[in-house]
């Protein structure tokens, strides 16, 4: 089914709790606009169906509760992700303002991150080439704006022991984690990490688009799940939404 958009959407991964037909579920939005969002989901939906959303990002004082309607059902993106296009019903002015802040962070991540100040990002990635690609990509995106150029540090670790040792000396603002590899059981590590830090340090899980990996990441406590090959703009926007809305 073809999707008709009135507003431009910004790619960003946002954790969403939602209620439909009395059932509570959780998944990740893949993009957001003033009109609504695309929610990844393998569930069964009907056009025009009412849906209650709770948008969650680290640092926000509370999730954003917003009602919506299903306006589109299908697959989008590369690799294709099944889901629904949800129209926001923004009758509440406070909800509208908070959604607007999130949209602005996704659409202008440099502004959101400039307000946040210096950031420390840790990578747990056994593959040195991939770790360098992620690190260089984040720094390159930041270097395009003098307000945040040099203010985002990225430190890579090849093993959980190295990472945990560093965390005892200096906490990070965000952890980016390889979910599955021959050298690392990222799922078990994520579960233990989430239990230890109670979600206070957001974790982005990265993986090839294997079946059920998105569900596994949700269950293990990931703040966001990003498919490989990693799109740096999506990653950077998601960092801004996750870390640039503190206290909002």
Domain boundaries defined on the chain: 10-107, 110-243
Q: What's the token pair of residue 50?
A: 């009412």
Closest CA to 226 of 13, 83, 11, 42: 13
Quick check: do 10-107 and 110-243 share a fold? no
| CA 153 – CA 218 distance, rounded (Å) | 26
> What is the reported pLDDT for 4?
53
Characterise 36 by phi-psi region: left (phi > 0), alpha (psi -120 to 50), beta (else): left
| CA 221 – CA 205 distance, rounded (Å) | 9
> What is the reported pLDDT for 168?
96
Is CATH 2.60.40.1930 the right assignment for the domain spanning 110-243? no
> What is the reported pLDDT for 77?
80
> What is the reported pLDDT for 206?
96
> What is the reported pLDDT for 20?
77
Helices and strands: H and E segment counts in the chain: 7, 11
Q: What's the token pair of residue 87?
A: 């129209």
What's the CATH number for 10-107? 2.40.10.220
> What is the reported pLDDT for 199?
87
| CA 54 – CA 64 distance, rounded (Å) | 5
How does pLDDT run along the chain (248 residues), one tens digit per residue?
Answer: 445 556 789 999 999 999 877 788 999 999 999 999 999 998 899 999 999 999 998 767 789 999 999 999 999 887 789 999 999 999 999 999 999 999 999 999 999 999 998 999 999 999 999 999 999 999 999 999 999 999 999 999 999 999 999 999 999 999 999 999 989 999 999 999 999 998 899 999 999 878 789 999 999 999 999 999 899 999 999 999 999 886 56
| CA 165 – CA 163 distance, rounded (Å) | 5
């Amino acid at each position: 089914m073809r999707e008709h958009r009135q507003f431009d959407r910004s790619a960003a991964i946002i954790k969403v709790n939602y209620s439909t037909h009395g059932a509570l579920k959780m998944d990740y939005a893949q993009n957001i606009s003033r009109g609504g969002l695309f929610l990844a989901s393998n569930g069964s939906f009907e056009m025009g169906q009412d849906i209650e959303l709770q948008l969650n990002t680290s640092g926000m004082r509370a999730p954003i509760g917003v009602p919506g309607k299903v306006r589109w059902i299908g697959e989008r993106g590369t690799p294709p992700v099944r889901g629904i296009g949800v129209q926001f019903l923004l009758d509440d002015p406070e909800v509208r303002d908070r959604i607007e802040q999130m949209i602005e962070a996704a659409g202008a991540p440099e502004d959101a991150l400039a307000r946040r100040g210096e950031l420390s990002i840790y990578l747990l990635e056994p593959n040195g080439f991939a770790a360098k690609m992620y690190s260089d990509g984040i720094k390159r995106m930041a270097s395009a704006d003098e307000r945040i150029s040099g203010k985002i540090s990225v430190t890579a670790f090849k093993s959980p022991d190295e990472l945990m040792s560093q965390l005892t000396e200096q906490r990070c603002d965000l952890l980016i984690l390889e979910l599955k590899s021959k050298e690392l059981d990222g799922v078990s590590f994520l579960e233990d990490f989430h239990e230890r830090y109670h979600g206070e340090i957001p974790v982005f899980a990265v993986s090839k688009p294997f079946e059920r990996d998105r569900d596994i990441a949700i269950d293990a406590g990931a703040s966001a799940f990003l498919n490989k090959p990693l799109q740096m703009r999506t990653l950077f926007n998601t960092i801004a939404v996750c870390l640039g809305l503190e206290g909002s």
